[in-house]
Structure 1
Amino acid sequence: MPPDSLSTPRLTSAMLVGILVRRSAAEGGFATILVKGDEISGVILVQALEKGRELGLYERVFDFAGSYRMVRCGPDPNEGAEALSQYLARRRRSDPDLWVIELDIVDAQRFAAETIC
């Protein structure tokens, strides 16, 4: 019988973000916390960049298979910084416990998925 995912111990959002920041530095990338959310269970958004070029915004979501994955969210990077800023402001109004992490590393979306999912 598979373990009940609701009763299985899991890392807190603060721990996952800390791991992402430290691992990206160890791999020659850069990660910074733009918005600090709920320490225990805040939703984590990753603003993916590569050499300063905006690649998109990704959210860590729980799927029906009982695991986490990174899902694209927010405006298209071509819409510019103002569209991203407005999107993040709307998300923060509806979820003040939200984390926003800027991650600048090669293949940032894959890197984030491998690290925090």
Structure 2
Amino acid sequence: MDTRLPAHLEVNGFIRAAQAAGGFGMVLNKGERDGGTILIVMVENQGLAVLYERMPQLDGTRKWDQVKVQVSENKSDFDDYLDRRSTQDPDVWIVELTVADRERFVRDNLT
């Protein structure tokens, strides 16, 4: 039995958590309603973005990992990566969350 929360509910929860923390959230790419992969783009105080994705672990669990960091010298590389991911996988959700304290938000909400 799959105990995974449907993707659309999980995405809604992340956006609400960002709002509750005084931040903002929006869906950049709407994926498959129930089972799509979710990518979280975290932006701290309108600065550079960090991309998180839940990756399968050897023990069968799934853990959020930082997979890409936007660099100021080449910001477009980050956007190009997101475009490629949404093109390659039409089921992927891309959610942007803007919060004041990225590390705390990740620790408290991406577990």
TM-score (norm 1): 0.80
- What's the CA shift for 1:105? 1.0
Aligned residue pairs, count: 111
CA contact (8 A) 2:53 2:67 kept: yes
Structure 1 portions without partners, runs of 5+: 1-6
1:80 to 2:110 alignment: no
CA contact (8 A) 1:75 1:87 kept: no
- What's the CA shift for 1:82? 1.2
2:47 to 35, 53, 74: 53
- RMSD, aligned α-carbons: 2.0
SS at structure 2 position matched to 1:88:
helix
State the distance in 2 between where 1:112 and 1:13 align.
18
CA contact (8 A) 1:44 1:60 kept: yes
Matches within 5 A, 1:1-117: 7-74=1-68, 76-108=70-102, 110-112=104-106, 114-117=108-111
The residue that corresponds to 1:3 in the other structure is none
CA contact (8 A) 1:19 1:115 kept: no
- What's the CA shift for 1:27? 1.4
Q: Which amino acid aligns with 2:85?
A: R
Q: Which has the larger radius of gyration?
A: 1
- What's the CA shift for 1:55? 3.6
- What's the CA shift for 1:10? 2.0
How much identity, in percent, do the aligned residues show? 31
